[in-house]
């Protein structure tokens, strides 16, 4: 990470215009345990209806989440989904500028999800490429009215027809000295000629440039495409291989992925262009902006469905990129992760301790705890609470080091610190599905028992493995 990107984000107030295909993403979550007698299909008992902005709307919400000042321009129908989408994005601080279609519905995608498995997706849409689907002159008029007040334009093309006049949008923005970022679609990239940056993923890039056998071929074909279209730069997002940025007269920049765990890749491209666009509007250079976009993508794929990244999450990820694992979370970040995981049907297991000198007994205990569910949260006593519990000579290792080591274990998903003598307050907020404690406990005597049981969870006492003790290890080391 460049020094520029590390000295605070300073993205607040960055002025961005997002234009593109608007969508309402709808999720129906439920349980399924039987097959319909009417047809060989599962019966889903819907328990939750979740609405999220999709397409260009998700890009705009991501900009707002990072602290940017954003206007969203796009086409919706005269229907209830349009009102729901408008309310959603306004709640996120987005300035809405919707053009209404009198003939087409608002694009809506409904997903039915059970046990973290998408069973079916139902799309409600008609192409805006059809004649008179919306007033294109009115769209361009509104675009030109907003353009002078922003630094960056993001054009989010999902191939639905909103950006049929994209060439005019690019030409006008470049003439006014704006950054123009395009998330492209289809095979006709000539329509994006002159843009500051296009951000195809690897599949989209190969569809236009041709198959690439290796990194050298990606670079060669990328430069050809950039030259042909007169682009400022090309950023190819390459999933687990990170990103490749190609600029004129500059060596290619290959950025490795920042993702530690991939939960859901939905909307990751939206987060990348939103972060890059906001960073450019805030005055950062393209290299720093792309690195921030890569880090943001690594965060958002750890969340379920279309999601956003906050400036706080990005700040912490920047801080931790110097060596601390992304599994080490602040309390608010952990609560957000747990909420997302529960919504996806994941079983959350919680345990706690000092973990001052990690030994094989700890490792086996944590492996046993993880085997009880999907995600294991380990809460760690901070240094002051260890000292109160264990005496003035403890801890041997500071809290940050203890958390870092725990985060490196395959069995541990998330690590968080707490400052009280017990994690009761944290347990009350998380309400894990399974609360685990090691040692000779009766479950009802474990801190957090009542809260977890009342929430429908389970409390389990696991035996520690005999012959392992931090205190004994310390005593043996003092005896030499």
Residue with tokens 């290796």: 214
Active site residue 270: yes
Whether residue 340 is annotated as binding a ligand: the answer is: no
Q: Whole-angstrom distance between the N-terminal and C-terminal Cα of the chain? A: 44
Identify which of 177, 126, 172, 230 has the alpha carbon closest to the alpha carbon of residue 19: 172
Residue with tokens 């297991």: 349
Bridge-based pairing state of the strands 197-198 and 179-183: parallel
Element (H, E) at 30: strand 22-35
43 forms beta bridges with: 34
Q: Is the dihedral of CA 83, 302, 8, 244 positive or negative?
A: negative
For 249: left if phi > 0, alpha if psi spans -120 to 50, otherwise beta; the answer is left
| Burial of residue 181 (number of CB atoms within 10 Å: 0-12, 13-18, 19+) | buried
| 161, 129 contact by CB (below 8 A) | yes
Of 25, 270, 333, 382, which is the active-site residue?
270
**DSSP state for residue 432 in the 8-state scheme:** -
Distance CA 356, CA 348 (A): 24
Distance CA 73, CA 75 (A): 7
Whether residue 164 is annotated as binding a ligand: the answer is: no
Q: Is 363 helix (H, G, I), strand (E, B) or coil?
A: helix
Integer angstrom CA distances of residue 344 from 49, 212, 298, 355: 13, 36, 19, 30
109 forms beta bridges with: 25, 123
Whether residue 139 is annotated as binding a ligand: the answer is: no
The token pair at 152 is: 């960056």
| 277, 292 contact by CB (below 8 A) | no
Q: How many Cα atoms are found within 13 Å in the side-chain-facing hemisphere of 337?
A: 26
Whether residue 204 is annotated as binding a ligand: the answer is: yes
Active-site annotation, residues: 270
Q: Which residues are annotated as a binding site for ATP?
A: 201-204
């Amino acid at each position: 990470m460049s020094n520029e990107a590390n000295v605070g984000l300073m993205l607040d107030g960055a002025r961005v215009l997002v234009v593109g295909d608007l969508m309402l993403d709808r999720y129906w979550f439920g349980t399924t345990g039987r097959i319909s007698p009417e047809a060989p299909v599962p019966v889903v008992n819907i328990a939750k209806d979740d609405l999220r902005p999709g397409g260009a709307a998700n890009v705009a919400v991501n900009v707002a989440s990072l602290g940017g000042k954003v206007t969203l321009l796009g086409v919706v129908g005269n229907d209830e989904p349009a009102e729901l989408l408008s309310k959603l994005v306004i709640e996120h601080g987005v300035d809405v500028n919707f053009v209404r279609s009198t003939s087409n519905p608002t694009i809506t995608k409904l997903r039915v999800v059970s046990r973290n498995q998408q069973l079916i997706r139902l799309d409600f849409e008609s192409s805006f490429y059809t004649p008179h689907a919306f007033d294109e002159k009115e769209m361009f008029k509104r675009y030109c009215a907003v353009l002078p007040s922003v630094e960056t334009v993001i054009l989010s093309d999902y191939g639905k027809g909103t950006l049929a006049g994209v060439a005019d949008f690019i030409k006008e923005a470049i003439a006014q000295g704006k950054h123009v970022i395009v998330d492209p679609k289809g095979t006709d990239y000539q329509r994006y000629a002159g843009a500051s940056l296009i951000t195809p993923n690897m599949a989209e890039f190969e569809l236009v440039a041709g198959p690439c056998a290796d990194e050298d071929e990606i670079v060669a074909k990328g430069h050809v495409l950039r030259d042909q279209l007169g682009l400022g730069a090309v950023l190819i997002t390459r999933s687990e291989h990170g990103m490749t940025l190609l600029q004129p007269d500059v060596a290619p920049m290959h950025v490795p992925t920042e993702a530690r765990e991939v939960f859901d890749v939905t909307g990751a491209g939206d987060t990348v262009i939103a972060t890059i666009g906001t960073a450019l509007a805030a005055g950062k250079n393209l290299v720093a902006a792309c690195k921030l976009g890569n880090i943001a993508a690594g965060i958002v794929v750890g969340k379920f469905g279309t999601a956003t990244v906050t400036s706080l999450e990005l700040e912490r990820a920047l801080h931790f990129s110097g060596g601390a694992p992304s599994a080490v979370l602040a309390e608010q970040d952990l609560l957000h992760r747990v909420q997302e995981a529960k919504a996806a049907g994941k079983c959350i297991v919680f345990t706690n301790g000092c973990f001052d000198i990690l030994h094989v007994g700890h490792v086996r205990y944590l492996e046993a705890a993880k085997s009880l569910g999907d995600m294991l949260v380990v809460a760690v006593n901070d240094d002051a609470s260890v000292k109160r519990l264990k005496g003035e000579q403890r801890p041997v290792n500071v809290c940050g080091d203890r958390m870092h080591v725990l985060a490196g274990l395959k069995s541990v998903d998330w690590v968080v610190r707490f400052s009280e003598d017990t994690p009761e307050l944290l347990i009350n907020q998380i309400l894990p599905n399974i609360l685990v404690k090691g040692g000779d406990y009766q479950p009802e005597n474990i801190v957090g028992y009542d809260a977890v049981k009342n929430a429908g969870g389970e409390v389990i006492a696991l035996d520690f493995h005999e012959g392992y003790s931090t205190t004994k290890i310390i005593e043996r080391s003092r005896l030499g």
